[in-house]
Amino acid sequence: MSADQRLKENNIILPEGYNAYAFDDSSYPSSSFVWEELGQDTYMSLLGSYILGPRWKVRFAKFDGPVESRAREIMISMDFDGNILRFNNRFPEAEEGKQLSRSEAQIIAENALSENLELTIKRDGQKHQMTFKDGDAQSPLKVIGKCGKETGTEIKFLPSKNIFTMIEFDRKTLQKKLRELAFLNSKISILLQDFREDKPWEKIMSYEGGLKEFVKYLDQSKKAMIDEPISLLANKDGIEVNLALWWNDSYYETVNCFTNNIPQKDGGTHLAGLRGALTRVVNSYAQESGMSKKENVQLVGDDIREGLTCVLSIKVADPKFSSQTKDKLVSSEVRPVVESLVNDALSEWFEEHPSEAKNIISKVIEAAALEVNSIFISVDPERDNVEIINDYVSAFHNQIIGLTGNKEQISNVAKDWGVYYQKEFIDGSAEYTVNHLDIIFLANANGEFIDFFPPKIQSALIVEKVRNLIKSD
């Protein structure tokens, strides 16, 4: 009945053929673990505080007729007392609806998720305001004063406790995100205030230097190899490219990519364009200056990006991403634009700053001259033939050497190096897995043991260890 009532409250009238399907939604791993391992009494004592209570879900759906006509689905989540927790209304992609601008859609979404919302708009010399409560307008949009030449939209809201299970804001998380936005948009100032404590806290974030200051902020604990970051701000084919980068004395590569202020942790076509231009320009300068020929090294991308700190931000209409999380940009038109603009900017900088350019090339050559062979040895010779091993290691790096052999050979190598491995069959199946030690060994040119590295160690620490060993020799 609670689910039906929620439909009525939202003026939703489902077409004929839609039915309600209710089911218990209480199978949480943590709940099951406490119940099974610690017993009913402990479970009941933790229920509602540390353990989520049981819930109902009611699904309104239709299973007859063409898919495009029944693709709509409504899911209502509620507790066992009938209180509504979530309301999810899914529409078919092809269904026509009201056309909204991005800002209009954002206000509607924020309003729907808010217990209280206050909207203030500064435009054309006048300040307008409108308030909402639980999604309903409390008054029409009205003029409340003058604002001069000031423009912008301000939204104050209190998240709805009926929708969100956790509404506690983490100040550090908010500050990090807002600081990031202030770096990316150098012409704006962002004020963050926190009134939850006895003494109010506030922070103004404004960075006129934009991405240059962003790079410096990221590298504040490192020693830079040049005085000022290399920067670029240009437009081409309707795409704005903003870039700042420099090298430091570390072995880490730190690259942050953004599209329309949205971060891409998995990079994408803008990162590919940057890397392509970077490799080409540095290689070209190293060859033309004679530095790479003198040291007899061939520079690759990994060498060039050692110690690089970079922020790349692009603005593009209608960007395309690999998923809804927008972690990777896949817009094909972005790569050639970024590659072209970065190529020209870096080439010009290297020509105009010869002494600093030589410092960078020297660091890159030092990285390339590091003679280290990476060897991967399979402990599953029954399944891992030469072709499989080659495909596997090439997915990580083209310079990794993959080795396999017969059972006796693998066993002897494992014993010599103290490596544990064991085949374990999957219940009821002929399939198996292999449990094994997960560490990296370091040996000298004679194959003698020097050191080992534990799992999940940062690659820069391995590089540093190897470099120090080479220097000591």
| Token representation of residue 377 | 């040895």
- Statement: residue 123 has pLDDT above 80: yes
Name the packing angle between helices 171-184 and 211-218 (round to 10°).
140
| Model pLDDT, residue 311 | 97
More confident residue, 21 or 158: 158
Taking residues 345-358, what's their average pLDDT?
A: 94
Q: Give bridge partners of residue 334 from the DSSP assignment.
A: none
Place of tokens 């017993």: 39
**Distance between CA atoms of residues 297 and 25, nearest Å:** 62
Element spanning 357, H or E: helix 354-368
- Statement: residue 126 has pLDDT above 60: yes
Going by pLDDT thresholds of 50, 70 and 90, the confidence category of residue 314 is very high
**Distance between CA atoms of residues 222 and 278, nearest Å:** 22
| Model pLDDT, residue 26 | 56
**Distance between CA atoms of residues 328 and 264, nearest Å:** 5
Return the minimum-mean-pLDDT range out of 161-175, 236-250, 277-291: 161-175
Local structure of 78: helix, strand or coil: strand
Residue 361: how many other CB atoms lie within 10 Å: 21
Q: Which of 268, 258, 235 is nearest to 340 (CA)?
A: 235
CB 348 within 8 A of CB 287: no
Distances (CA, A) of 388 to 109, 393, 422: 50, 9, 20
Going by pLDDT thresholds of 50, 70 and 90, the confidence category of residue 147 is very high
Query: DSSP letter string over 216-279?
Result: HHHTTTS-BSSSS-EEEEEEETTEEEEEEEEEBSSS--EEEEEETTEE-TT-BHHHHHHHHHHH
| Model pLDDT, residue 185 | 94
Return the minimum-mean-pLDDT range out of 109-113, 349-353, 459-463, 466-470: 109-113
Say how many Å lie between the first and final Cα of the chain, rounded. 79
- Statement: residue 41 has pLDDT above 70: yes
Going by pLDDT thresholds of 50, 70 and 90, the confidence category of residue 456 is confident
Going by pLDDT thresholds of 50, 70 and 90, the confidence category of residue 57 is confident
Q: Which of 58, 60, 50, 48 is nearest to 13 (CA)?
A: 60
Using left for φ > 0, alpha for ψ between -120 and 50, and beta otherwise, residue 344 falls in: alpha
- Statement: residue 31 has pLDDT above 80: no
Query: What average pLDDT does the chain have?
Result: 83
| Model pLDDT, residue 11 | 66
| Model pLDDT, residue 310 | 97
- Statement: residue 410 has pLDDT above 80: yes
Here the contacts of 43-46 (C-beta below 8 Å, separation 24 or greater) are: none
For 173-222, the pLDDT digits (tens) are: 999 999 999 999 998 899 999 988 899 999 999 999 999 999 999 999 89
Taking residues 69-84, what's their average pLDDT?
A: 69
- Statement: residue 142 has pLDDT above 80: yes
Taking residues 214-233, what's their average pLDDT?
A: 94
Local structure of 209: helix, strand or coil: coil
Rg (CA), the chain: 30
Return the minimum-mean-pLDDT range out of 262-271, 274-283, 327-336, 393-402: 393-402
Q: Which of 378, 375, 363 is nearest to 445 (CA)?
A: 375
- Statement: residue 23 has pLDDT above 90: no
| Model pLDDT, residue 1 | 55
| Model pLDDT, residue 110 | 64
Helix, strand and coil in the chain, % to nearest 5: 35, 30, 40
**Distance between CA atoms of residues 178 and 349, nearest Å:** 31
Q: How many CA atoms lie within 13 A of 31 on its CB side?
A: 13
Phi, psi of 288 (to 5 degrees): -65, -35
Return the minimum-mean-pLDDT range out of 93-102, 184-193, 211-220, 414-423: 93-102
For 245-288, the pLDDT digits (tens) are: 999 988 778 999 999 999 999 999 999 999 999 999 999 999 88
Phi, psi of 131 (to 5 degrees): -120, 150
Here the contacts of 300-303 (C-beta below 8 Å, separation 24 or greater) are: 300/368, 301/275, 302/367, 302/397, 303/364, 303/365, 303/367, 303/368
Q: Which domains does the chain have, with CATH numbers?
A: 2-90 (3.10.450), 100-168 (3.30.565.10), 173-208 (no CATH), 211-368 (3.30.230.10), 374-472 (3.40.30.10)
Return the minimum-mean-pLDDT range out of 195-199, 354-358, 450-454: 450-454
Taking residues 317-322, what's their average pLDDT?
A: 91
Using left for φ > 0, alpha for ψ between -120 and 50, and beta otherwise, residue 373 falls in: beta
CB 58 within 8 A of CB 78: yes
| Model pLDDT, residue 96 | 61
Looking at the chain, how many residues does it have? 473
